[in-house]
Chain A
């Protein structure tokens, strides 16, 4: 393993351990955390790449955040990076959950735990929104993109279509639109 790759793998592991402690709301806040840390601060990836990891991760079987972590880790440091990201994101929730199992009845009905969690849940949507704002510009190149995004939103909310299908439909739409444009430019 090259020295640079080793350093990156360690960085990813430590950072993802921290991310893992704060992945509330189905894990979507990880997108905001990667955006802040690796797009804005360290500049290892671009907004476009983060969008790719998220949508491809969502369309793979299993845990979306596990998949997004593997895609990100592989991109920045190969297989060791992918393992480091996945382990980092998984260890904190597993450790916390093991603690909770032993305090099951205590934590379940505790008034103060419930109140703090109400607050945490209230912060989840703004956290996702803050990431979305930054990703918006790089994902939405033109009017056709808005139509695709709106279509995906409607399918997700009202049709309960499988995510894989939605992502594949998006890929098909992208191929068709770009192909039509190429031909128009040629003629």
Chain B
């Protein structure tokens, strides 16, 4: 049954990957080996997943499921990809709450928090490299840099919310994108 196959495929993708771009090779494998998509279509999903909200893995699951077997297909694939969150992470959540007051847990978290800061820095650098790439001096996009600067000011100085900032940035993109 196609729905079960989609569910199992994305369940495997979910359990063997750790978010973001690490999912692409796995998705590529599953889609091509089942004959659900061509590699051109896989490349297209990655581009489209970037344009819509939500993490890449979720967007790919919805897209692949819907193209293969309609809305029910999309739901089966989506359920597969979020299954690790529903099981493993839920157990981890209970574990984390139970041992929160534990001294060893506290010591481990002392080391884990800076790791998180380091990882966020890494994400920012990776995102900057694609989001501000353009033609200025051969490698920078000045409209993107300008929009980035404006976003930073409204966020930090005027305390705008994230949705409001994103809408402003989309508007500025429409205005400046032609330059």
Contact = CB atoms under 8 A, between A and B. Distances in A.
B80 to A, nearest CB: 10
A140 to B, nearest CB: 6
Interface string A78-92: 010010001000101
A152 B89 contact: no
Contacts of A56: 92, 96, 112
Interface string B134-148: 000000010111011
B112 A167 contact: yes
A31 to B, nearest CB: 7
Range for the number of chain A residues in contact with chain B:
35 or more
B140 to A, nearest CB: 11
A169 interface: yes
B174 A115 contact: yes
Main secondary structure of the interface of A (DSSP, over half): helix
A140 B96 CA distance: 21
B170 interface: yes
A117 B19 CA distance: 22
Main secondary structure of the interface of B (DSSP, over half): helix
Contact of A100 (B19, B52, B96, B112): B52
Specify which of B15, B94, B97, B116 lies most central, judged by the most chain A CB atoms within 10 Å of its CB: B116
A124 B126 CA distance: 11
Contact of B116 (A54, A82, A94): A54
Contact of B96 (A18, A71, A132): A71
B51 A126 contact: no
Contacts of A124: 127, 131
A93 B52 CA distance: 7
A36 B151 CA distance: 16
Interface of B: 14-20, 44, 47-59, 62-63, 66-67, 71, 74-75, 78, 81-86, 88-90, 92-94, 96-97, 104, 107-128, 130-132, 141, 143-145, 147-149, 151-152, 155-156, 161-163, 165-166, 168-174, 176-178
Interface of A: 18, 20-29, 31-33, 36, 48, 51-52, 54-67, 69-71, 74-75, 79, 82, 86, 90, 92-94, 96-98, 100-101, 104, 107-108, 111-133, 135-136, 138-141, 145-146, 148-153, 155-157, 162-164, 166-167, 169-175, 177-179
